[in-house]
Amino acid sequence: MTDYKEIRTTEHEAGQEQRAATFKATQIIWLFLGILEAAIALRVVFKFIAVNAENSFATLLFNVTQIFVAPFISLTGAPTSGGMVLEVSSLIAMFVYLLIAWALDRIINVLFYRSGNTVRVQQTSVEEHTLPTATDVHQSTVTKKTIE
Protein backbone atom coordinates (compact mmCIF):
# COMPACT_ATOMS: atom_id res chain seq x y z
CA MET A 1 0.00 0.00 0.00
CA THR A 2 1.38 3.39 -1.02
CA ASP A 3 0.15 6.61 0.53
CA TYR A 4 0.97 9.93 -1.06
CA LYS A 5 -0.10 13.37 0.13
CA GLU A 6 0.88 16.71 -1.38
CA ILE A 7 -0.23 20.15 -0.17
CA ARG A 8 0.34 23.17 -2.42
CA THR A 9 -0.13 26.66 -0.97
CA THR A 10 -0.36 29.80 -3.09
CA GLU A 11 -0.66 33.32 -1.73
CA HIS A 12 -1.80 36.44 -3.52
CA GLU A 13 -1.73 39.84 -1.88
CA ALA A 14 -3.95 42.52 -3.41
CA GLY A 15 -1.99 45.51 -4.68
CA GLN A 16 1.39 43.78 -4.56
CA GLU A 17 2.23 44.58 -8.21
CA GLN A 18 1.26 48.24 -7.76
CA ARG A 19 3.41 48.54 -4.64
CA ALA A 20 6.36 47.08 -6.54
CA ALA A 21 5.87 49.59 -9.38
CA THR A 22 5.60 52.46 -6.88
CA PHE A 23 8.79 51.31 -5.18
CA LYS A 24 10.64 51.17 -8.52
CA ALA A 25 9.46 54.67 -9.45
CA THR A 26 10.70 56.10 -6.17
CA GLN A 27 14.00 54.23 -6.58
CA ILE A 28 14.47 55.89 -9.98
CA ILE A 29 13.81 59.32 -8.45
CA TRP A 30 16.39 58.77 -5.70
CA LEU A 31 18.91 57.32 -8.16
CA PHE A 32 18.60 60.37 -10.41
CA LEU A 33 18.89 62.66 -7.38
CA GLY A 34 22.00 60.84 -6.16
CA ILE A 35 23.71 61.20 -9.53
CA LEU A 36 22.73 64.87 -9.77
CA GLU A 37 23.84 65.64 -6.21
CA ALA A 38 27.17 63.89 -6.77
CA ALA A 39 27.79 65.83 -9.98
CA ILE A 40 26.94 69.19 -8.37
CA ALA A 41 29.03 68.34 -5.30
CA LEU A 42 31.95 67.49 -7.57
CA ARG A 43 31.43 70.84 -9.31
CA VAL A 44 31.58 72.63 -5.94
CA VAL A 45 34.79 70.81 -5.01
CA PHE A 46 36.37 71.46 -8.43
CA LYS A 47 35.56 75.17 -8.21
CA PHE A 48 36.77 75.33 -4.62
CA ILE A 49 40.16 73.76 -5.36
CA ALA A 50 40.51 75.74 -8.62
CA VAL A 51 40.67 72.79 -11.01
CA ASN A 52 41.96 73.63 -14.49
CA ALA A 53 38.81 74.60 -16.42
CA GLU A 54 40.54 73.63 -19.70
CA ASN A 55 40.59 69.98 -18.67
CA SER A 56 38.09 68.00 -20.77
CA PHE A 57 36.53 66.21 -17.77
CA ALA A 58 36.16 69.44 -15.81
CA THR A 59 34.66 71.17 -18.87
CA LEU A 60 32.16 68.33 -19.35
CA LEU A 61 31.21 68.39 -15.67
CA PHE A 62 30.79 72.18 -15.62
CA ASN A 63 28.67 72.14 -18.81
CA VAL A 64 26.38 69.34 -17.66
CA THR A 65 25.82 70.76 -14.18
CA GLN A 66 25.41 74.31 -15.48
CA ILE A 67 21.91 73.33 -16.71
CA PHE A 68 20.86 72.44 -13.17
CA VAL A 69 22.71 75.20 -11.33
CA ALA A 70 21.77 78.07 -13.70
CA PRO A 71 18.46 78.98 -11.98
CA PHE A 72 20.32 79.56 -8.70
CA ILE A 73 23.45 81.41 -9.92
CA SER A 74 22.12 84.92 -9.28
CA LEU A 75 20.77 84.18 -5.78
CA THR A 76 24.02 84.87 -3.94
CA GLY A 77 27.51 85.97 -4.66
CA ALA A 78 30.36 83.51 -4.91
CA PRO A 79 33.25 84.33 -2.56
CA THR A 80 36.59 83.99 -4.35
CA SER A 81 40.19 83.91 -3.25
CA GLY A 82 42.85 83.62 -5.91
CA GLY A 83 41.43 81.08 -8.35
CA MET A 84 39.24 79.33 -5.76
CA VAL A 85 35.49 79.91 -5.81
CA LEU A 86 32.91 78.83 -3.24
CA GLU A 87 29.70 78.40 -5.20
CA VAL A 88 27.04 78.88 -2.55
CA SER A 89 24.42 78.85 -5.31
CA SER A 90 25.38 75.24 -6.16
CA LEU A 91 24.91 74.25 -2.52
CA ILE A 92 21.47 75.92 -2.56
CA ALA A 93 20.67 74.03 -5.80
CA MET A 94 21.59 70.74 -4.13
CA PHE A 95 19.24 71.47 -1.24
CA VAL A 96 16.37 72.53 -3.54
CA TYR A 97 16.75 69.39 -5.71
CA LEU A 98 16.70 67.28 -2.55
CA LEU A 99 13.40 68.88 -1.54
CA ILE A 100 11.96 68.36 -5.04
CA ALA A 101 12.94 64.66 -5.04
CA TRP A 102 11.44 64.20 -1.58
CA ALA A 103 8.20 65.89 -2.70
CA LEU A 104 7.99 63.68 -5.83
CA ASP A 105 8.56 60.60 -3.69
CA ARG A 106 5.74 61.59 -1.34
CA ILE A 107 3.38 62.45 -4.23
CA ILE A 108 3.97 59.09 -5.92
CA ASN A 109 3.38 57.25 -2.65
CA VAL A 110 0.18 59.17 -1.90
CA LEU A 111 -1.26 58.73 -5.40
CA PHE A 112 -0.23 55.19 -6.29
CA TYR A 113 0.62 53.18 -3.17
CA ARG A 114 -1.96 50.60 -2.17
CA SER A 115 -1.71 48.91 1.19
CA GLY A 116 -1.81 45.13 1.29
CA ASN A 117 -4.27 44.23 4.00
CA THR A 118 -5.95 41.26 2.36
CA VAL A 119 -3.92 38.16 1.62
CA ARG A 120 -5.66 35.41 -0.33
CA VAL A 121 -4.30 31.96 0.43
CA GLN A 122 -5.32 28.87 -1.52
CA GLN A 123 -4.35 25.38 -0.44
CA THR A 124 -4.67 22.36 -2.68
CA SER A 125 -4.35 18.96 -1.07
CA VAL A 126 -3.84 15.85 -3.19
CA GLU A 127 -3.99 12.44 -1.56
CA GLU A 128 -3.43 9.19 -3.38
CA HIS A 129 -3.88 5.76 -1.91
CA THR A 130 -2.88 2.58 -3.72
CA LEU A 131 -4.56 -0.55 -2.50
CA PRO A 132 -2.71 -3.86 -2.85
CA THR A 133 -5.10 -5.67 -5.18
CA ALA A 134 -4.63 -7.74 -8.26
CA THR A 135 -5.99 -4.98 -10.51
CA ASP A 136 -4.05 -2.06 -8.84
CA VAL A 137 -6.99 0.21 -8.15
CA HIS A 138 -5.95 3.82 -7.39
CA GLN A 139 -7.97 6.17 -5.22
CA SER A 140 -7.30 9.90 -5.41
CA THR A 141 -8.81 12.77 -3.46
CA VAL A 142 -8.33 16.45 -4.37
CA THR A 143 -9.37 19.08 -1.86
CA LYS A 144 -9.21 22.87 -2.41
CA LYS A 145 -9.51 25.32 0.41
CA THR A 146 -9.44 29.11 0.05
CA ILE A 147 -8.61 31.24 3.09
CA GLU A 148 -9.01 35.02 3.08
Backbone angles phi, psi at 114, to 5 degrees: -120, 125
Sketch the domain layout of the chain as residue ranges: 15-117
DSSP label at residue 70: G
Which is more confidently placed, 136 or 34?
34
9, containing H or E segment: strand 2-13
The structure's pTM equals 0.68
- Tens of pLDDT along 67-88? 999 999 999 988 988 889 999 9
- Tens of pLDDT along 10-49? 766 666 778 888 899 999 999 999 999 999 999 999 999 9
18, containing H or E segment: helix 16-48
